[in-house]
Every structure is written in C-alpha cells, then in structure tokens.
Amino acid sequence: MKSNTKHAECCSHDTDKPLEHFENLTDHTDHDGHDHGSPKPSWKSHWDLLLALLILVIMLSLEYGFDILFTGTANLIVYGIAYLLAGWRVLNIAFRKLKRLDIFNEFFLMSIATIGAFLIGEYSEGVAVMVFYSIGEWFQDSAVNRAKNSIKALLDVRPDEVSVLRDGNELRVDPATVKIDEIIVIKPGEKVALDGQLVSENASFNTSALTGESKPATKYSGENILAGMINLSSVAEVKVTTLYSDSKLSKILSMVQDATARKSQTQLFISKFAKVYTPIVFFLALAVCLLPYFFVDNYDFNTWFYRSLVFLVISCPCALVVSIPLGYFGGIGLASRHGILFKGGNFLDVMTKINVVVMDKTGTLTKGVFKVQEVVADDIGKSELLRLASTLEKNSTHPVARAIVEFAKGEEDTKAEKVEEIAGHGMKGIIEGMTVLAGNVKLMQKFSVDYPKEIEKIVDTTVLIALDNIYAGYITIADEIKDDAAKTISELHKLNIKTVMLSGDKQSVVNNVAKMIGIGSAYGDLLPAEKVAKVEELKNSGFHLAFVGDGVNDAPVVALADAGIAMGGLGSDATIETADIVIQNDHPYKVVSAILIGKITRNVVWQNIILAMVVKVVVLSLGAGGVATLWEAVIADVGVAFLAILNAVRIQKMTV
C-alpha cells in the first residue's frame, strides 16, 4: 500500500459510495437544498426562475422602451414577486445557514446584497442580481452533472445481465449471482460481464472500454478475458474465474470514482481561501459603507450602502470554488478516456513536477513476451534439461518462466517439491530427488555452482540450470521492444525529463535495449532492494520522480516514487493497489500522455484563478469608487463563473 505521506493529501471518503463523493465536489455544495450532484436540472424544474426573468424583462422593457412606470407600491409588489420566484432557494439556504451561525457564505452574501437593494428602492437591480445569480447556479449544476454523467458513461461498461450455462440450459441472470467455474456465453456485440478464461477456440474482442485502444484483440482458448470487453466475432464461451464484485474492472471503477474525492493541493488551498476570503470581503463591504462617514463631506448613507452592495455581489467566490474542482475532474475524465487512471486530482499536480522517469524493462519498455531461442545442454539431453526446467518454472508467474513452460509443452514432466522463488535470482526446487536450480548467474554464484564464464557475454536473457549444484546447461530467451518505446523516450527528453532504466536482467541485455531506444541511463543485474536504493539516490539528489513498472516485484519502488505508475495494470491486482496512476494497456507512451494531461489541467485551473481574481479586483475597485453598479457586478460575477466553467469543461474534449 502507498505510504501515508502521499495519501495525506487525500480527503477521507466512503469507499462504499464512490460516486456520491462528486456531490461534495466543493464546499460550495450545500446539503440544505443546493446540491451540485442532484439529478440534472431542466427548465421545467426552474419554471419559477424563468418566470422571474420574464417579469424582469417585461418591467425593464416597459420602463426604458415605453416610459411606462409603475407606482412605488405596485413596483414593489411586482418586483417582490419576481424576487421571491428567483431567490426562494437561495434565501432558504441562507436562512438555514444563519440558524447555524454560518453567515460567511455566498448565499448569505447574495441575500444581504439583494435585500439591501430593495431597502434603498433599487428593486430592478435587486431582482436582476438574484435572477442572474440563480441562473449562474443553474448553469453550474448543469456543468457538474454533465461532467459526472460523462464519467459515469465512460465507466458504465458492466452489463446488467449475462447468459450462463446451467444444467444444459442457457439462462439470463444477474452477473452478481454467477459463481466461479461456471460457463458464461457472450454473443457477438455483447459485453463481457465477468473475468474468466476463454473456452472457445478463439474470439475477437474490442478492449477500448478498458484500454482506450480501438484495435480488436484476438484471444485464444485458455487466455484471460476481462469484464468490459466486447465480443466482435462468433459466440464465445468463457469460464468464470472471478466473482462479479472482485473483477479487475470493478476495482478499477471504484478506483476512478474514488479519485473524485481526493483533492489536489490547489483545490484544498481554494477551499481554505474561500473560508478566509468571504468574511474578509464581508467586513470590507461594511467598511465601504460606514468608514466614509468619518472622512467624506456630505456623506450619504444610501450612496455608500449601494456601493457596499456592489462589493458584496462581485466578491462571491463561486467561479473559483466550482470551476477549479471541475477542472481537476475534467483532467481525470480526459485521462480515463485515454486509458490512464489517476487515483486522485493530487496526482495530476504531481505529474506536472516530474523531472525524471524511471522505468522497469521487462513488460514496460519490452513486450514481456519471451520466446526460447536456444537450449544448450552439458552432459544431459536437451529434452531432459528442458523437462526439468519447465517442471520447476511452472511454479512461477515470471514472463521468462512462462516462456520456458510454453516452449516445453508436450514434454513429460513430474511435480516439483519444496519450490522456492528467490527474488532477483531464480527458482529452486526438488524434482525426482534432485535439487534443481534455474535462474541467472547470480543464482549460480549464490549456490557456488561453476559455469562457463562465456555465458555472461551472451546478449539474450539466459537461464542457467544446475542439478545437485552441478551446472547442466542453459536456455536463451529473447524479448521484443515495444513499438512506441523509442518514441516515448524521445518525447520525454523533449520535455526535459531525464530517463532511467532499472532491471533485474543482466547488464548486457539492459545496455542493448537502452541503446536501441535512446534511454539516458540504464542499470542491470539489480535485485528489488537495489532498485529501491537507486530510486532513493535519485530522490535524495532533488529529483521529482515517477517510476513505471508492471510487476509485483516493483511494488516497493512504486510506493517510494513521487508518482507510481502501473504499466499494464489490468494484469496485476497488487500493482493497481500500489500505484498512483494505472495505465490500462502496455503502451509506455501513455506516460507522456499522463504528464501532458497533468500540465493541461494545471494550466486551465490557473487560467481560471487568474481570470476570476483579476476581474473581481477590478470590479471591486470600481464598485467601491462608485463607478460600477449592481448590474455590472452581477454580470461580471456570473460572466466570470460562466467562462471559468466553460474553460474547465473543455478539458474533457482535448486530445493528447
């Protein structure tokens, strides 16, 4: 699990109801009736606000278009009705907060400002402030709901029903009721509901919901099939290996949904800022109203009271407290659409500071699909050497071990006993009474086994085998570099990011891969503890570091890095749990995309902060000086919020 230091930035949250956390997007959300997470508002649910707007337009048209003026009482009644229609929700929330002695919030500010306008006879401006403020709130609700629905649609890839074979019959049932080892049937065009292994000979699947990749993937009998994939070809049968609630997709959905509850440092700052900022502007508004009495000749209370109302309206912090979290949520949504899962908005910030990316080799920069190249035996038959090696390696999930087992298919084998996997070295076990060792040269050295030293010069990955501590031969295995590995390293260098490769493979192999893809520094022959030491060395040198790995053995380094990135996270539950960011496919270029998405999000967030603060300072100054009216104040406030939210929403439409 990740260290407490990194997750201290995350707010506490209820993991049983992850989507509900978005309803608490900011402190701006109120549970007394003003909820940005409520069902999507429609014009029918805001008929009162629209009617108030119509009344305001008619009254202003009569006054300025036809010079028709109502008497004082009639004016008050008509505008009063419009005011209550537009503002009853705001007034209700303000009253409830007042009962809790919470007066430093935007609802109370708007209530005071608009009631004050009525007290000095500025009815039309009081109604205008409430109408346009409420329209702005309506727009904010809609923007938040669109973002929430967008992420729901992105993640809602689990079907509600599944076909299962029971007693020779095909039944449609709830996926949650399907048990392990049952056979489910996926027809062409259907989504897979549960993780399992393909029973049919072969089938083609669309994996875009999981990986962001549109290219179909052909799977063969015995290969893993994951929930969320879509069957593209003939009817496919899958043997269930994981319960519905435990599927990798379910865990990923919870992870991304929980990410909305984890606030970035900027979000946390804005929340704290708003709590300090609001009371300050409230008392400044009082000062604007009362202090001139002591310094201004011919002081007129109504004039300065009006200026203080302008001050209150423009000071509303809505644009900041809504648009900024919405920006981070947009970044999480954009990343998810590209198959990159951030565990919180705080990690979007972290990625903008990264100046060194450390990568594992196998499965990260190489495909991790090893193939046996050569079997060399010494005083033992090749088939016998291969049989003993595969019998031992069947007990390991390492890609090298799988390659040997795959190559040895058809060979008669027995069962290995007292099997021990020695991290960074290889395997040890008892087969037919013999102690069998299979691993790298460090394993041979550990058990004092003599071997031909020229083996160390072989470029390919080499597995040495010893029987009862006597060298018996070796197997060479080759891996293939991923298509986008060189491009990834090149783009990272263009971003002035240092690249380092750490691997447990031998140095000659590591050097060869590093040369082919242009990586900066490469270290081989490393045990897990030595990888940790290298990362600590880089961190102690002042680097902000991201580590990219794909296996359980990388967990300690992933936990230590500023940003731990799991490559091919769908293949390792432990990696998903440990990493801060999960790349759902095996493409290293997604690391570049993650950095770019972090920078896009940061830029948009700071654009919103600067825009909101500059406009507010200007209009606050104009209002205090008597230049700006309530009309300018409300238009500036709603306009800034409108522009900031539009700016935040557009993140989800960007490409990287």
**Residues belonging to the active site:** 360
Distance of CA 507 to the CA centre of its chain: 35
Of 539, 461, 452, nearest to 500 (Cα)?
A: 539
Q: What is the C-alpha to C-alpha distance for residues 563 and 389, in angstroms, rounded to an integer?
A: 38
Of 301, 311, 314, nearest to 120 (Cα)?
A: 301
CB-based contact 338:434 (threshold 8 Å): no
Q: How far is CA 639 from CA 130, 188, 247, 253, 510, in A?
A: 14, 49, 45, 35, 56
Q: CB neighbours of 447 closer than 8 A, spacing ≥ 6?
A: 428, 437, 466, 469
Of 470, 434, 476, 469, nearest to 455 (Cα)?
A: 476
Q: DSSP string covering 201-216, please?
A: SEEEEE-HHHHS--S-
CB-based contact 561:545 (threshold 8 Å): yes
CB-based contact 241:219 (threshold 8 Å): no
What pairs with residue 582 in β-bridges? 341, 566
User: Largest alpha-carbon pair distance within the chain?
Assistant: 114
Q: What is the C-alpha to C-alpha distance for residues 6 and 8, in angstroms, rounded to an integer?
A: 6
Distance of CA 280 to the CA centre of its chain: 35
Q: CA end-to-end span of the chain, whole Å? A: 30
Strands ordered across the beta sheet of 461-467: 371-377, 470-478, 461-467, 434-439, 426-431, 417-422
CA 92-96-99 angle, 5° bins: 140
Paired tokens of 39: 């069902």
Q: What is the C-alpha to C-alpha distance for residues 161 and 193, in angstroms, rounded to an integer?
A: 8
* Strand boundaries in 394-540, DSSP class E: 417-422, 426-431, 434-439, 461-467, 470-478, 498-502, 521-523
CB-based contact 578:566 (threshold 8 Å): yes
Which 8-state DSSP code applies to residue 375? E
Q: What is the C-alpha to C-alpha distance for residues 205 and 213, in angstroms, rounded to an integer?
A: 11
Which 8-state DSSP code applies to residue 99? H
Q: What is the C-alpha to C-alpha distance for residues 21 and 489, in angstroms, rounded to an integer?
A: 37
Tokens 């549970």, residue located: 31
Of 323, 125, 48, nearest to 110 (Cα)?
A: 125
* Single-letter amino acid, residue 280: I
Paired tokens of 458: 């072989």
